[in-house]
A and B are shown apart, each in its own frame.
Chain A
Amino acid sequence: MKLIKPILLMLCFAALTAGRTAAPNYGVGDTVADFKLKNVDGKMVSLSDYKSGKGVIVIFDCNTCPYSKAYNDRIIALNKKYAAQGFPVITINANDPSDSEGDSFDEMVALAKRKKYDFPYLVDETQNVARAFGATNTPHVFVLKNEGGAFTVAYIGAIDDNARDASSASKKYVEDAVDALLSNKAVPAAKTRAIGCGIKWKNA
């Protein structure tokens, strides 16, 4: 009988730690917790800074992945097209720079300057935001809809269906999702997948 208590405690502990290591990730319709990360200009940016808009296009991205390079101009174009309509882009780099040298903060600053980013490029040093979202690869898009100050996930996945060439894409998933949200329609494809570089996790 005396043994039961410590065993129970151990089981509780095991359950708790298991819950912590399992990746909590957002599905379509889930409400997103606020986050606050450092931008390439040194200032902190929070999701809650965007409460006056219609939503946000959050993109987990990086400097080094060939898919990120292939989609870089398309990401810049997304912000150009949708920021004015209430859906600005926020990019977040979660790659561990000790595993991916070209993803250091200095390199991020250089890329944002070179490509004249007019949107945040945030560093997720602890990787907690990428883990919370369940981001797996780069670029990985989460379109968030602002519902009275609470951001909910409306789309998860790729930018379009042709990594090689933007002009050959037959489906522009993110544009289709945001256009649908802007006209109060259902998002046609709420979840898509694409080949990409896995996020460089710490101690992976």
Chain B
Amino acid sequence: MKKNIIAMIMSCVVFGAAAQKAEVVKLDKLQQIMETKSDKIRVINFWATWCAPCIKELPLFEKLHAERSDVKVTLVSMDLDLDPNPEKVYKFLDRKKLQSEVLLLNEQNANSWIGKIDKSWSGALPATIVINPKTGQRKFIERQLHEGDLEKLIAEVQ
């Protein structure tokens, strides 16, 4: 019995540490993140809970977040574009226990801002930007990434 209680408390602690309430942001906050000077390479991924290829590539970003202290990963959920209720995303984050920073972008009229993220972005998900804040070098890629792709993109801006 005692063991069970300890196990329950332990799992609560682990769960509490793992769950995150992702911040809902507007475009200006995202642009600020993209422009901020830093020693860390910025990796920004645009995804959504409904996007199967996005979910498939999420572990690559989590691995990068865990293994590379010289890289800052931000996962930008686009779920609010279609569904204004963020609960589905929060539940997903609790279930998957994502450790990378997650933001929920709350902007309508996508045509007015997609080009500000990257001129070549059609708006299709998934999409990823790798930025070297020191040099301003950027790489944008609009497809599902596979093992090794992120490391290659990072090397290209270094």
Please list the residues of chain A having a beta carbon within 8 angstroms of any beta carbon in chain B: 66-67, 70, 100, 136-137, 140, 157-158, 161-164, 170-171, 173, 189, 192-201, 204
Contact = CB atoms under 8 A, between A and B. Distances in A.
Nearest to A136: B122
B50 A193 contact: no
16 contacts: A66-B82, A100-B52, A137-B124, A157-B111, A163-B82, A164-B108, A193-B114, A193-B121, A195-B110, A195-B114, A196-B122, A196-B123, A196-B124, A197-B124, A204-B53, A204-B144
B83 A164 contact: yes
A188 to B, nearest CB: 12
B142 A67 contact: no
Nearest to A67: B82
Contacts of B53: 198, 200, 204
Interface in B109-125: 109-111, 114-115, 121-125
Chain B interface, >50% SS class: loop
A97 B49 CA distance: 20
Contacts of A200: 53
Interface of B: 50-53, 78, 81-84, 108-111, 114-115, 121-126, 142-144
A135 to B, nearest CB: 9
Nearest to A162: B108
Nearest to A173: B111
B81 A163 contact: yes
B123 to A, nearest CB: 4
Contacts of A189: 111
B68 to A, nearest CB: 25
A189 to B, nearest CB: 8
Q: Which 5 A-B pairs have the closest CB atoms?
A: A137-B124, A198-B124, A136-B122, A192-B111, A193-B114
Given A67-B82, A137-B124, A193-B122, A198 B143 contact: yes
Given A66-B50, A195-B81, 20 more contacts: A67-B82, A136-B124, A136-B142, A137-B123, A158-B111, A158-B123, A162-B109, A163-B82, A164-B81, A170-B109, A193-B122, A194-B123, A195-B82, A195-B124, A195-B125, A196-B122, A196-B123, A197-B50, A197-B124, A197-B125
